[in-house]
Structure 1
Amino acid sequence: MARLVSDVHVKDPKTRLMVHLRAGEEPAPEYAALVKNPEAWEGGKLPTSAKTADTTPTSDSEEGDGGDKPAAKRAAKRPARGRSAADEGSSGD
């Protein structure tokens, strides 16, 4: 595995927290794949595992929902009140 020559911050795809990778470290393969700048690596080249790793994580909860959120579903079921309430001259209740 290649070593870093400069400090790098990357976002962990699972926890969404920033991880500080220090110069001289050999980061774990999942973090090494997130460091895209060749100048951060020894020899000025990306490690081969970083080039081939898939960096688009998918969680089980995101696969089957089609991108619809429960709040969006509720909002789609009832019409907006602003225009009709203004036209009626009432509060819309």
Structure 2
Amino acid sequence: MARLATDVHVKDPKTRLMVHLRAGEEPAPEYAELVKNPDAWEGGKLPTTTKSQADPSDEDDAQDDKPAAKRAARKPARGRNAAGEGASGE
């Protein structure tokens, strides 16, 4: 696995928290695929990850989750109907 040449911060896709990856480390494959800048890696090349290295359970979890914006877009917020009709509550 490749080593990092510089410190990098990435957002963990599961917890949505920022993770600090230090120079000289060999990050876990799920974090390594998040570092897209080749200058961050020793040798200036992005590491290659194969399907066998990736955890297949991560793919299933990603398909089940829907972004909050899509869930919220299904139904209008409360009060929109009254605002559209011009009812002022009197």
Give the TM-score, by structure 2 length.
0.69
Q: CA deviation at 1:62?
A: 2.1
Q: Match of 1:34?
A: 34
Is 1:68 matched up with 2:71? Answer: yes
Q: CA deviation at 1:79?
A: 1.1
SS of 1:4 mapped into structure 2: coil
SS of 1:69 mapped into structure 2: helix
SS of 1:30 mapped into structure 2: helix
Q: CA deviation at 1:75?
A: 3.0
Unmatched segments (≥5 aa) in structure 2: none
Tell me the distance in 2 between the aligned counterparts of 1:82 and 1:92.
13
Unmatched segments (≥5 aa) in structure 1: 86-90
Partner deviation per Cα, 1:30-54 (whole Å, 9 max, x = no partner): 000000000010100000118xx7x
**Equivalent residue pairs, number:** 81
Letter in 2 for 1:58: A
* Kept after mapping to 2: 8 A contact 1:81/1:92: no
Tell me the distance in 2 between the aligned counterparts of 1:7 and 1:78.
47
Q: CA deviation at 1:73?
A: 1.9
Tell me the distance in 1 between the aligned counterparts of 2:27 and 2:20.
10
SS of 1:43 mapped into structure 2: helix
Give the TM-score, by structure 1 length.
0.67
